[in-house]
Amino acid sequence: MSTIAKTPEPPYYAVIFTSLRTEGDNGYSETASNMLMLASEQPGYLGVESAREDLGITVSYWSDLESIRNWKLNIEHQEAQKTGHEKWYSSFKVRISRVERDYGI
């Protein structure tokens, strides 16, 4: 179960990944779980939040742009991105954003 990420004081970065899936699992669940684990081991990783109905939204938080770039270039992640593009997602959008302010309870 995903919970609210315990991020530090801004500024930090958020990668907002929004996607629509194709039919069937096709190995998606296992890889998704592995990628969440692998991401959490990367330098600069701050946390992740995820939910899916028809639309899936995964927001990962990072300390800086270089950490995001390195994670994008990770070889296992590259393989997952390729399969995602070819098999798992009918459409997706990645938005890289700088968190400037946050508040909550």
Written as six digits, the tokens of 13 are: 């970065």
Candidates 49, 63, 64, 74; binder of its own copies (CB under 8 A) is 49
104 contacts its own copies (rule: CB under 8 A): yes
- Give the position of tokens 């109905």: 53
56 contacts its own copies (rule: CB under 8 A): yes
- Region binding its own copies by CB under 8 A among candidate stretches 23-31, 35-43, 56-64, 73-81: 56-64
- Buried-exposed string 62-90: b where 16+ CB fall within 10 A, e elsewhere: bbeeebbeebeebeebeebbeebeeebbe
Do the beta carbons of residue 27 and residue 70 sit within 8 Å?
A: no
23 contacts its own copies (rule: CB under 8 A): no
Which residues sit at the interface with its own copies, rule CB under 8 A? 1-5, 7, 10, 13-14, 16, 18-20, 49-57, 59, 85, 89, 91-105
